[in-house]
Structure 1
Amino acid sequence: MFGATVPTTLHRDRHVIPARAQSTILNTGNIKFLHSRSVMDTPWTKSPEEILQHFTVDASRGLSTDQAAKHAEIYGRNELPEDPPTPLWGANS
């Protein structure tokens, strides 16, 4: 076959890596950095302070502009998907 095939899902230490992060990993080969900063084991057991420290975030200022842009590039914008349109057969007329 021509070219390399791209896996649909990359796994690292039992964690599924988001699709946008996959392209960053494939382009840079830097899965260790991405994993170490973006994945936290059992985050629900951590205090807010531990989470802020893990992601190097200042609680009073949040993410820097550069950090927010990088996260948006890797993970996508922090927004909900739009509702799908109502099919014609399901519309009340």
Structure 2
Amino acid sequence: KYANFTYIPALSDAGDDGEWEGEVGFVHEAAQRAFDGDFSGNKAYLCGPPLMIDACINTLMQGRLFERDIYTEKFISAADAQQVRSPLFKNI
């Protein structure tokens, strides 16, 4: 529907019933397959648990997408809320 928007639903475990027709695996792996590993010139909007976000950031950066083009919202605890940026960004 939108030329500049790609939605890729993925299930890490689709089950054995064979009804799921979308991507199977982790979301960062599904995105890597969909974009042939090259994310340059795009923007990424990520929302989910910290481990998923960090896996996505790592994959996106390996595919030439940089911090300025990655927007995140982590599902975190109050203790984790003090960490504003992913530790992966601090290593750049």
Report the TM-score when normalising by structure 2. 0.28
Name the structure where strand makes up a greater proportion of residues: 2
Name the structure where helix makes up a greater proportion of residues: 1
Larger radius of gyration: 1
Report the TM-score when normalising by structure 1. 0.28
